[in-house]
């Protein structure tokens, strides 16, 4: 199984991103489904049942207050072929994100070496035509000055399993971890 830890979006954030998707949808890009949108805290990768149990137990030990999640702006990771919504790195989000790899390390998972750059993947390029479509989308987004700003307070974070399917991965929640009220 392939696992990752993340924050699900609320209805308002999902609706705002769905509007972006409707506005810019292109047949030459592989668009993420709204039910798959999330903010990743740590990608764990391949795991066995023992690691799943360890990760679940360790993540239950994390104590954190509710986390403000601010989705702002649209962007591109051109080399990776990704169109995304940006997520502001609030102190609370960063603190939670830093606790997750500390918790999962004893279960055999190494922390990411790259700086944390929270985002929500909206679409991916598919092949050469997808790269052209992504560049055209980038120009359109810049030309229209499309703005995006929505905020919510996350009351939990989740452990997901990524299940590959022909049209893209489907994510199943394996465990939920509540965050405390302020």
Show Cβ contacts of residue 128 under 8 Å, excluding neighbours closer than 6 positions.
none
CA dist 91 and 116 (Å) reads 12
CA dist 98 and 62 (Å) reads 11
Active site residues: 38, 119
* DSSP summary character for residue 3: E
In contact, 16 and 150? CB cutoff 8 Å: yes
In contact, 158 and 6? CB cutoff 8 Å: yes
CA dist 45 and 107 (Å) reads 12
Q: Which residue has the tokens 């679409």?
A: 123
């Amino acid at each position: 199984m392939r696992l990752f830890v993340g924050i699900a979006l609320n209805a308002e954030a999902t609706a705002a991103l769905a509007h972006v998707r409707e506005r810019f949808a292109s047949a030459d890009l592989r668009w993420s489904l709204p039910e798959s949108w999330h903010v990743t805290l740590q990608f764990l990768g391949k795991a066995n049942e023992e690691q799943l149990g360890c990760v679940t137990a360790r993540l239950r030990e994390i104590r954190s207050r509710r986390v403000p999640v601010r989705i702002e702006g649209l962007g591109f990771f051109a080399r990776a072929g990704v169109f995304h919504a940006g997520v502001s790195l609030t102190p609370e989000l960063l603190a939670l994100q830093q606790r997750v790899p500390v918790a999962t390390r004893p279960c055999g998972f190494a922390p990411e070496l790259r700086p944390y750059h929270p985002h929500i993947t909206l679409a991916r390029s598919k092949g050469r035509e997808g790269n052209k479509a992504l560049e055209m989308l980038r120009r359109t987004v810049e030309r229209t000055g499309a703005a995006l700003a929505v905020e919510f307070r996350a009351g939990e974070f989740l452990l997901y399993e990524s299940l590959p399917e022909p049209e893209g991965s489907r994510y199943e929640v394996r465990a939920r971890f509540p965050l405390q009220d302020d």
